[in-house]
Structure formats: C-alpha cells, structure tokens
Amino acid sequence: MSYSDSTKKLVLITGAANGIGLATARKLASSGHDLFILDKDEAPLEAAVAELSALGAKTKSLVLDLSKSDQIIPALDAALAGAVVDQLINNAGVGFARNVESTSFDEWDLTIDINLKAVFVMCKYFVPKMVAAGGGEIVNVASAASIIGLKNRVAYCASKAGVAGLTRAICADHAAEGIRINAIAPGTVDSTWIAKILADAPDPVATRKLMEARQLDGRMGTPEEVANGIAFLLSPEGRFVNGSLFVMDAGLTAV
C-alpha cells in the first residue's frame, strides 16, 4: 500500500494534554487515526490518553519538555522505536503578557525555545523520515500574531512570525519530495492559556471583553473550531494547500 492510498495515519501532536492539542486529538481519534501525544505535564497527559483510548484510538504518550531542545531527538528515538509518523502537529506553545521593555531574557528565551526552536527541531527530525516514507503532512500552530502585532506579546509575536516563515521555507525545500506543510493562524481561542492570562489580569472581566472584541463577531474561537481547521489541512481535501498560513481569526487580521 502506498502512502497516498493509506487512510489510517499515525499522528504526533505536541502540547496535546489540553486546549487546541487535545481538541485536535479528539477530532483525529474520531476519524480512526492512531495517536502519539506529547506534553510536559504528566497528569493531564495521562488523562488525555485514557480519554482518547476510550474513543477507540490506539494512543501512546511521551512526557517531554520542549524547551530542552537537546533532549527532543533522543527522547523521540527511544519512544518511537522505529514507528513511522505520517502526520505531525506542532501545537505546544507558551506566552507572556509583556512588552519589549518588560520581557526578561529568560522569558524571551523560553518563548523562542518552545514556540519556534522546538518546531524547527521536530521538523528537522521528521521531514527526512517522511520523505523516506513517501511523504507526509505537517501543521504548525502559529497565530494571528504571525501577521499583526499584539499589545504586550512581544516575544510571542516574534516567535509565531518565525513559525510562519519556517513553514514556508520548508515547503519551498521539500514540497517536491511529498511534504505538505502548513501553518494555522488562530485568533483568540478560549483555552486554558487564555484562562491563565485572565486569572493574572487586574480586571479579568474587562480583559476578556477586550479579547472577545478582537474578533469581528465579538467572541473567541473554540479549540474545536481550530481542530476542524487542522483536520482539514491534514486531510486529502486539503491536498492543494501547501506552504500557507491558514487564518482562522473571525476577521481579527482583516482590519
């Protein structure tokens, strides 16, 4: 059976214990795919494995801190044990509510390490393996912040703009070898990360209203909506989409 004939995929998802990552894992589990999910937090990762397994998906997991880039490849080698990953979703991310003056060097390094460097390392590891297998699909979770500047998100904006550029460059180099790679750019998504930001805000209610107002329909997106977009990009229906920044932001970047 050739790669293009295969309907059941092994999909690896980073940051899969909650939010967009978990919603995407649920979506793909319901489509019959096998899953390999990564996260740095063990307890919610174990809960995700139990949930996805109950949905009928063959699910394996790996606790991995993607900020430690020198540990990523050895950990993958040991955990995968030769298994062929057909599709990769680089979803894990972090952010701080800081401007350029208040962002510490440690916060800058952590944001770049997880949001951008880890995506590079994962792609560096999997692209040659996918090429050898006849092809593969990759979705990198970027952000509307790849396109526009957001207040008090200086390191986050820089990292996500880097994800968009990295995605295009990999497409340019490897599309002819069967690699289909896209970045998805959500607007503000009602997730555990947003909940943490709101919890730290001086006025959570007012901050939430501002976040909702970014989208032209006046509400945040949901992890499930973004998961639908990721599933499309991975699917045969998305075959003609490659090297794109696939925007899902309810018009945030349109004005």
**Confidence (pTM):** 0.94
Cα 251–Cα 253–Cα 255 angle in degrees, nearest 5 = 80
Number of domains in the chain: 2
Do residues 140 and 201 share a domain?
A: no
Dihedral sign of CA atoms 114, 117, 120, 121 in order: negative
Q: What is the mean pLDDT of the chain?
A: 95
Dist. CA 248–CA 225, nearest whole Å: 9
* Whole-number Cα distances in Å, 19 to 91, 170, 225: 10, 26, 11
Dist. CA 195–CA 212, nearest whole Å: 13
Give the residue-averaged pLDDT of 190-218. 91
pLDDT band at 194 (very low <50, low <70, confident <90, very high): confident
Do residues 210 and 141 share a domain?
A: no
Do residues 74 and 175 share a domain?
A: yes
Do residues 67 and 140 share a domain?
A: yes
Domain assignment present for residue 253? The answer is no
Do residues 84 and 208 share a domain?
A: no
Of 25-29, 159-163, 193-197, 245-249, minimum mean pLDDT range: 193-197
The DSSP string of 147-203 is TS--TTBHHHHHHHHHHHHHHHHHHHHHGGGTEEEEEEEE--B-SHHHHHHHHHSSS
Residue 212 sits in which domain range? 189-220
Dist. CA 89–CA 122, nearest whole Å: 10
Q: What is the pLDDT of residues 34-68, one digit of tens each?
A: 999 999 999 999 999 999 999 999 999 999 999 99
Do residues 89 and 122 share a domain?
A: yes
Catalytic residue set: 156
Residue 147 sits in a domain of what CATH number? 3.40.50.720
Dihedral sign of CA atoms 171, 238, 251, 100 in order: negative
